[in-house]
Every structure is written in C-alpha cells, then in structure tokens.
Chains A and B, each alone.
Chain A
Amino acid sequence: MTVHDIYLLSPELALVALGLAIVLLDLVVQRKGVLGAVALVGLVVPFALSILLWGDVHAEPTETLSGLFGTLVVDKFALFFKFLVLGIVALLVLASTDYVSKLSRSQGEYYALILLSATGMMLLAATTDLIAIYVALELASLPVAALIAMLHTDPRSPEAGIKFLLLSAMSSAILLYGMAFIYGFTGSTKLPVIAHLISSTATPGVPLGAYPVLLGVVLVVAGFGFKLSAAPFHMWTPDVYEGAPTPITAFLSVASKAAAFAVTLRVFYVAFEGVSLDWALLFAALSALSMTVGNVVAIAQSNIKRLLGYSTIAHAGYMLVGVAAIAARAPAGDGSLGPQGVLFYLGAYAATNLAAFFAVIAVCNKIGSERIEDFAGMARRAPWLAGVLAFALVSLTGIPPTAGFMGKLFLFSAAVDTGLLWLAVVGVVNSVVSAYYYLRVVKVMYLQPPPSEEQVPSSVPFRAALAVAAIGVLVLGVLPGPLLDVARAAVATIVP
C-alpha cells in the first residue's frame, strides 16, 4: 500500500476514523448531544477530501485513478456516490438528534454504525474486483442489521433485524455462487478483465463453454435483486421497513438503494457488457414486476412506514428501467441515457424520500402511532410538516414541479430511446396507480378533522434537515440541469 493508495482511500479512512472517534467520545462525555454535532462537523473532512479527489480525477486524461492493485478505482462515478452518501448521512445525523434520545445507552454506536455502513457504501461504488465488492457489500449491510435491531423498547425491532440479516446473508450466498462461476469460467475477479474475456472468446477448450458464465450472471442478478429490493426478491422489505427505527428505515431506503444501484451499474455495464442483451431483458422483467407489485400492494397498507416500504419497491422498479435501457438495443441512440437517468433519479429520490421520512419521524414521535388514519388533521396541528410530507408524496407520484417528475421523465425517455416503449408505458400506468395511495395520505392530513389541537414539536437541527430535503426536491424539479450534468460526467467512465 503506497501513500497514493492511502490518498485515494482517504474519504473512506476519514469516515472510519470519525466513527471510531465517536465510539470513544461516547465513553467520556456526559452530554450525549455532543456526539451528533461531532459526527456532523466530522463529515466535512471526507467531503473535502472527495472534492480534492474530484479535482485530481478531472485533471487526469482518462478521468480514472486506480490503486490497491487495481481493486480500488476513483472516477467521477465513484465520487458521485461518495457525495450522495455523505449528503444523505449528514441530513440523517441532523434529523436523528431528537430520535436518538430513545437509545439512552447506545447513542455513540448509533452514529458510528451509520458511518461504518456509509463507508461500505462508498467503497461499493469504487471497486472493480469481485472480492472487494463482496467485502464492501457486507461492510455496508452488517452495521445496518445491527442498527435495525437496536431499538430495545420495540419488539418489532429485533424481529426486523433478524429478518434483514438472514435474507441479506442468503442473498450474499446466491451472489457468491454466481461470482464463483464467473471467476471460474473467465479466470479473473477483475471487472475489466472479465469483460475482455467474455467478449473475446468462444471459450474453446473450456468445459461447458459459455453457459456457466450466463448461469453466473443470472445468479448475480438474483443476488443484487435482493439488495435493490426488486420484486420478486422484495419479501423482506415491508417487514424490515416497518420494524426498523424510522431514521434507519430512511437510511435503508435511500443510501442502501443508491449503493446497490451503483454496484449493479458498474458490474453489469463494465464486466457483462458483452452479454448485455441477455441481462437487460431480465432487468426489464424485474422492473415491470417491481413497479406493479410495489404499487398494487401499497394500496392496501394502513401503516405509513409499510406504505413507504412498498413504495420503495416500486421506485426500485422505476430505476431498473434505466438499468435495462442499454445501448445495444438501439445502436443509434445514446446508450448512457439510462444510467444517467438512474443517477439523477437516485439523487431526486434521496431528497424526496428523506423529506417524507423526516416528516413521518416527527409526527410519529408525537402521536406514538404509525397508522395513516392517525395522521388526520395534521395540516392544522403541524402545517409545515404536513406541507413537506404532502410535497414529498407529490414528488413520489411524479407530478411537476418536483424532482420525482424530472427523474421519471429522464428514465422513461431513455426507455423509449432504446426501444423499450412497453416498459415506459408500464411505468406511466404505475405512476397513475401510485397517485391513489400517495394522495390518500394527503387527503387524510388535509380533509379530516384532527382528534386534538396539540401542536407537533420539532427541534432546530431537525427543521434544518427537513428544509434542506424539501428545498432539494423543489430545486431538482425546477432546475434539473446541474445534477444531470454531473450524472452525465459520472456515467462517462462506465458507458464509453
């Protein structure tokens, strides 16, 4: 490991150091409120280092820096996800200040585990080796399992934790079985070398020819399908979303999803580009199924967290539209539109879902219930919270002028460009279906009488987080240009 390697890894190292420092600090300080502040201020360091790296990458002619024997790669794609994950963590830390008082003894661990998991997510977007991908994946998901099971006062919390851990381990095993076949029949764990071997050979002299590689690709699709919570691999999602502490549900729904999409895009666009016509069809099928299952089952939900759980399955489906929109289907079209759309949508979805979850955290903390009918009259009890929640739900539906509308516009136009008109039609029909259950929540908040006139309190840092998320939704909906430009630059390294 050279000094240059350490420099390339510095944002992740800074994040780990911050997490460990918070655990140690937890032992000595009496006022636990300090911990959140330290976490927030400490995030400036990895953020600044990522900006430095962006400058270096931009100056490089190939726009790629690699280190650690070629397993770690820093390009604009990896840096996009570093910024996204760091931004999500910063907002989450701000919004958790009220919530962590419930975890009287383990507040330091709460922040530290979030930071460690974020490290795994950042690494996941920055590795080009199957072994490193597996290790980063587990680094991202094991702390989340512990976080889900952390709330001792609620029996649903450990139950959700064990469900998440078991299904995540099982999906890892399936993913590894696929990776074993891919390594075995291409001879390498490095994504660029795998790509070279898949496209260059008819594999003479190799037992069984190319079929094991295809079997491996299918198993990897299934393994990543669990992580993306795409139907039919979504069974864990509603239970885990309902049982987990609400800030962790928010973290799972935006950060885990972003990291899973990052690794999916990199693995499939870089390594399996030679067989893209085969897997793109699989992803198109998963996409249609996820959108439909997520939206149809969400209609019947009465718990707001469970509703958002099914909604996240549907949104995984929308984003898979962009993964399936590959260049090989339309040689004349721009093959990078799909991945660009996915990156933009991940940013838009992060702002939208965080705004929605933050409002839910504050309301549920006050009323002590997660039932949608108990949100009645929220517009009078907490006009700002209700307004932000309604705005976020409008964005999730995909109505202008919101980030969600712009995101869907880019994804569906990428689908049309690459000859997947049917998938775009399924997406639009599903958006219409989703309006029913999203707007039902808005109706309950605005049109039904409140059971009491008591106001819903919230702290200043919490309001700041809520405001940033809500403004993000509006800005991305009105001025999508800057984020789209960054997304375009980011995908240039994975779609040549």
Chain B
Amino acid sequence: MEPLQRFLIVSAVLFATGLYGALSLRNVVVVLMGIELMFNGVNVAMVALSRYVVPATLAANPGSATDSALRTVLTGQVFAAFIITVAAAEVAVGLAIVLALYRSRETVDITDASSMKQ
C-alpha cells in the first residue's frame, strides 16, 4: 500500500469516528471531543496531501502555480496549524457555554437540553 493511502485511511477513520461520536453521544464535553477528532482527521489529510499529492499535481501542471513550489507545498501544513489554533478557540467558547448550561440546569447531557421541542 502506498504511504498516501495509509494516511488517508487513518484520516478518514479519525474523521468518521469523530462524526459518529459527535452525533451519537449524549455528554456535551464528549461531543466536543468528537468534533476535535474530526478536526484532527482533517489535519492528517491536509499534511499527507501536501506531502504526497501536491508535488505530483504541480509536476503535472508546470507553470500553473504562481508561488514557489516549496511555499505551495507548505501551505497544507500552515493550514493545519491554523485549524489547530482556531479549534482551540472554538473549544474555549464551547466549554464556557457548557458551564453556563450546567449552571442553568445542572446537567451537561445533550438529550436533557431539549426544552424547545414541538
């Protein structure tokens, strides 16, 4: 198996596990953890693609990219760094709201948070 395929399979498994967790689990904190797994799956894909596929794409299309080859390849890793940073901000806001939720109803169970059902 090529290294790229291994990376993409790991990435897809991480993403799918996170999505399943986020959709099926009841504790809000664990749902947030599932979403983090999804982000990490994306990060693995991003870095693997920037290492294995982008150079091949650029080689097949000479003269298409405006930047230098190195910078184009590094873009994927920079993107991953941005995702990690923004995800941290997301969790900070998320946990703050979880705290507010806990104060108002003494639970962090998402299925109890259903006061607005028709």
Contacting residues, chain A, for B54 (C-beta < 8 A): 183-184, 187
A153 CB to nearest chain B CB (Å): 9
CB pair A183–B61 under 8 Å, yes or no, is no
Among B41, B57, B65, B115, point to the contact of A206 (Cβ < 8 A): B57
CA separation between A169 and B54, bound complex, in Å? Answer: 27
Q: Are B105 and A155 in contact (CB under 8 A)?
A: yes
For window 239-279 of A, CB contacts with B under 8 Å fall at: 239, 242-243
Residues of B within 8 A of A169 (CB): 32, 35, 87, 90, 94
CB distance B45 to A177 under 8 Å? yes
Contact with A along B1-26 (1 / 0, CB 8 A): 01010000000000100110010000
Most buried by B among A176, A177, A196, A203: A176
Of B53, B61, B101, B115, which contacts A162 at CB under 8 A? B101
Interchain CB contact under 8 A, B56 and A138? no
Question: Judging by beta carbons under 8 Å apart, are A146 and B93 in contact?
Answer: yes
Q: How far is the CB of B84 from chain A (nearest CB, A)?
A: 11
The answer to whether A183 and B113 have CB atoms under 8 Å apart is no
| B75 touching A188, Cβ below 8 Å | yes
- Whether, in the assembled complex, B118 has its beta carbon less than 8 Å from a beta carbon of chain A, the answer is yes
For the complex formed, measure the closest distance between the CB of A208 and the CB atoms of chain B, giving whole angstroms: 9
Cα separation A80 to B28 with both chains bound (whole Å): 39
A200 contacts chain B at the CB level, 8 A cutoff: yes
Q: Spot the interface stretch: A129-137, A314-322, A353-361, A468-476.
A: A129-137
A93 within 8 A of B: no
- Contact residues in A for B57 (Cβ distance below 8 Å): 184-187, 197, 203, 206
Contact with B along A393-405 (1 / 0, CB 8 A): 0000000000000
Query: Which listed residue, B28, B42, B61, touches A176 by the CB 8 Å rule?
Result: B42
**In this assembly, does B70 line the interface, its C-beta being within 8 Å of a C-beta of chain A?**
no
Interface size of B in residues (CB-CB distance below 8 Å): 56
Shortest CB-to-CB span from B28 to chain A, Å, is: 6
> Which label, helix, strand, loop or mixed, suits the secondary structure of the A interface?
helix
Closest chain B CB from A451 CB (angstroms): 24
Q: A484 on the interface (CB 8 Å rule)?
A: no
Given contacts A173-B15, A197-B64, contact A145 B41 (CB under 8 A): no
Contact check, A189 vs B15: say whether CB atoms are below 8 A apart: no
B70 to chain A, nearest CB (A): 12
Query: Of the candidates B66, B76, B86, B118, which one forms a contact with A193 in the assembled complex, judged by CB atoms under 8 Å apart?
Result: B66
CA of A196 to CA of B66 in the docked complex: distance in angstroms?
11
Contact with A along B46-79 (1 / 0, CB 8 A): 1001100110111111001111000010011011
> Smallest Cβ distance from A124 to chain B, in angstroms?
14
When the two chains form the complex, which single residue of A142, A177, A187, A238 contacts B61, counting CB atoms closer than 8 Å?
Answer: A187
Q: How far is the CB of B72 from chain A (nearest CB, A)?
A: 6
Contacts of A149 in B (CB 8 A): 96-97, 100-101
Q: Which of B22, B76, B115 contacts A156 (CB 8 A)?
A: B115
Asked whether, in the complex, the Cβ of B18 is within 8 Å of the Cβ of A173, the reply is: yes
A444 CA / B59 CA spacing, docked (Å)? 68
Say yes or no: A130 contacts B79, CB within 8 Å.
yes
Q: How far is the CA of A238 from the CA of B15 in the complex (A)?
A: 27
Complex: chain B residue closest to A202, CB-CB = B60
Bound together, the chains give a CA A258 to CA B76 distance in angstroms of 29
Q: How far is the CB of B89 from chain A (nearest CB, A)?
A: 6
User: With A169-B90, A189-B79 given, is the CB distance from A152 to B100 under 8 Å?
Assistant: yes
Q: Which of A146, A155, A174, A201 sits near B104, CB closer than 8 Å?
A: A155
> How far is A238 from B118 in the complex, measured between Cα atoms in Å?
10
| A152-B104, A159-B101, A159-B115 known; A201-B82 Cβ under 8 A | no
**Distance, CA A124 to CA B64, complexed state (A):** 26
Per the 8 Å Cβ criterion, residues 205-255 of A in contact with B are: 205-207, 238-239, 242-243
Q: Do the beta carbons of B94 and A162 come within 8 Å of each other?
A: yes
Chain A residues within an 8 Å CB radius of B100: 149, 152, 158, 161
* Bound-complex Cα distance A238 to B54 (A): 42
Complex partner residue of A196 from B32, B46, B58, B64, CB under 8 angstroms: B64
Chain A residues, Cβ within 8 Å of B78 = 131
A331 within 8 A of B: no
- Per the bound structure, the CA–CA distance linking A155 and B28 in Å amounts to 16
Residue A27 at the chain B interface, CB threshold 8 Å: no
B72 and A187 contacting across the interface, CB-CB below 8 Å: yes
A138 with B90, Cβ < 8 A, contacts A203-B60, A205-B56 known: yes
Residue in B closest to A183 when the chains form the complex, CB atoms:
B76
A45 at the interface (CB under 8 A from B): no
Partner of B53, one of A172, A207, A243: A207
Instruction: Say yes or no: A142 contacts B60, CB within 8 Å.
Output: no
CA distance A301 to B101 in the complex (A): 26
Contact check, A193 vs B64: say whether CB atoms are below 8 A apart.
Answer: yes
- Using A155-B104, A188-B65, A242-B116 as known contacts, say yes or no to A131 and B82 having CB atoms under 8 A apart: yes
Task: Pick from B38, B78, B82, B93 the residue with the most CB of A within 10 Å.
Answer: B93
Question: A193 contacts B104, CB within 8 Å?
Answer: no
* Contact between chains at B61 and A197 (CB < 8 Å): yes
Please name all residues of chain B whose beta carbon is closer than 8 Å to the beta carbon of A135 when the two chains form the complex.
Answer: 82, 86
Between-chain CB contacts (< 8 Å), 17 pairs: A130-B79, A146-B97, A156-B115, A158-B103, A159-B101, A159-B116, A161-B101, A169-B35, A173-B41, A174-B38, A177-B42, A177-B45, A185-B57, A187-B57, A197-B61, A197-B64, A238-B116
Q: Which 3 A-B pairs have the closest CB atoms?
A: A184-B49, A173-B38, A158-B100
